[in-house]
Amino acid sequence: MRFPRSCGTLAHPTSFPSKYGMGDFGVEAKTFIDFLYETGQSIWQVLPLTPTGYGNSPYASYSAFAGNHFLISLDILVKKGLLTVQEAKIAELPVTTRSEYDKSYGLKSDLYRKASARFYSSLSKEDKRKLTAFKKANKFWLDDYCLFIACSKANNFAPWNMWSPEIAQRKPATIKRLKKEYREELDYQTWVQFEFFNQWYTLKEYANSKGIRVIGDIPIFVDHNSADVWGNPAYFEVDEQGNRVLVAGVPPDYFSETGQLWGNPLYKWKELERDNFSWWVERFRQMFELYDAIRVDHFRGFDAYWEVSAVEKTAIKGHWVKGPGKKLFKTIKKELGELPIIAEDLGVMTPSVEDLRDTFNFPGMKILQFAFDSDSTNSFLPHNYPQNCVVYTGTHDNDTTIGWYRTAPDVQQHRAREYTQSDGNEIQWELIRLGMLSVADQAIFPLQDFMNLDQSHRMNIPGTVIDNWIWRYTPEMLRHIDRDRIRFLVHLSNRDVKFNEQDGD
């Protein structure tokens, strides 16, 4: 699918300002959308909105389908009459540039339970109808997820393969008993998902009404300790007890002598294909309801993936295995129609990966921070771009552009200055300008670059687990962005089309 010439900003909801320790779907989310609208942008890209596990990473989740309920706005619950102003005030924390996840989780959890109890105690016919419709529409994943979380709590959040065999192996009689035993917890978990999706769809509708398309993110692999693997073990490389057998990673390369051992259980693609890829069809179906387009992380893994035995300590002793390739996307397209997908095609690409991407006309990604480590043939330099691609200064895994430039080798700094014909003092704006004026159909920039921020405001350092995903901004930081400069570049580069102005959308 070809996307119109447009531009936008990458910012995760946890990065929004909030009185409650972390960003959420409240008023500051709309203020951010207003910023996009006022500057002529028409894209908002987010990271996965699923529940976060260890390290608060949106790429390590308890579910590929559920929502991170800590993004639920307490202020919206107050407006709905499910909380009082005084109760919400208890959860207030200082507004800083760091998310206080642990403190926020603890304070919010008690309030969510109060709100849930009030929702059920005053359930109107209309609310009951909406809740019933939500359960029916999401039955594919909702029941398993709610029970998984209830069982996790009862087992002190130990991985599910360490639970009693009857629960880990989902013995029918045991599952039936647990649904009765945990009924109150299941009702609560159902409500927080119901509320999460209600708030998200309201926010997305607001963005769309302003002519802004929302781009989501879908990681190819799922976490082992997730409702997905526990509820569908036949689709994953786990043994009868739930222990991982084969796991994902990437081979040794220039950046790592031992490769990267991610540890996610690999898919049993033959089993999935026998079931007409139904699990993947449902996953994409939901994603296309949640977002207007999605970025598919580690796209090359659908063509071929690095398979490693779960007993290995590094990724060295792995090998490439052919993935589902075109069969999967042909099935998804047959079931769901047009596929508004961006392929994360970074790293070493093979001709077969490029063929898979191009067969379905998926745009690939171009990162400007990667453009200056070689000569003029570098594929990340704008003069080498195809039109059907998305250009970024950097992504959530990169440093801010100022941080990148300050730590880049002298030769890369020199090349960047030569290419931009600048002194490098405003390198972030020079790269934004390059991206805007390139032929790439879409240009998307991390919010930190518009804010002129250095490396202390980086979102994530791959391969580490400390102090990642915590960055957020203050209201003043958003107000101080040079909006006139953005508007000028948007208009100059002919990227000021709005989502709801496009023919066929």
Helix (H, G, I), strand (E, B) or coil at 141: helix
Helix, strand, or coil (residue 419) = helix
Q: Rounded to whole angstroms, how far apart are CA atoms 309 and 243?
A: 12
Neighbours of 258 (CB within 10 A): 13
Q: In what order do the strands lie in the sheet with 260-265?
A: 260-265, 246-250, 304-309, 319-322
Residue 389 is inside which H or E element, if any? strand 389-392
Q: Based on the residue annotation, tell me whether 397 is a catalytic residue of this protein.
A: yes
Torsion of CA 418, 412, 441, 481, to 10 degrees: -80
| DSSP structure string for 164-186 | -HHHHTT-HHHHHHHHHHTHHHH
297 is catalytic: yes
Phi-psi region of 424 (alpha: psi -120 to 50; beta: other; left: phi over 0): left
* 344 part of the active site: yes
Q: Which residue is catalytic, options 185, 187, 307, 397?
A: 397
Lateral strand order in the sheet of 389-392: 341-343, 293-296, 213-218, 43-45, 6-10, 442-446, 389-392, 364-367
- For residue 489, what are the β-bridge partners? none
- How is residue 168 written in tokens? 């880990």
Give CA 366 to chain center in angstroms. 18
Q: Which of 297, 303, 441, 449 is catalytic?
A: 297
Interatomic CA distance for residues 505 and 500, integer angstroms: 7
3-state secondary structure at position 135 = helix
- Determine which one of 28, 223, 237, 344 is catalytic: 344
- For residues 217 and 462, give the distance between their C-alpha atoms in angstroms, rounded to a whole number: 17
Q: Which residues contact 97 (CB under 8 A, 6 or more apart)?
A: 457, 471, 472, 473, 474, 477
C-alpha to C-alpha distance for 207 and 291, rounded to whole angstroms: 11
Residue recorded with tokens 């800590």: 70
Catalytic residues, by residue number, are: 297, 344, 397
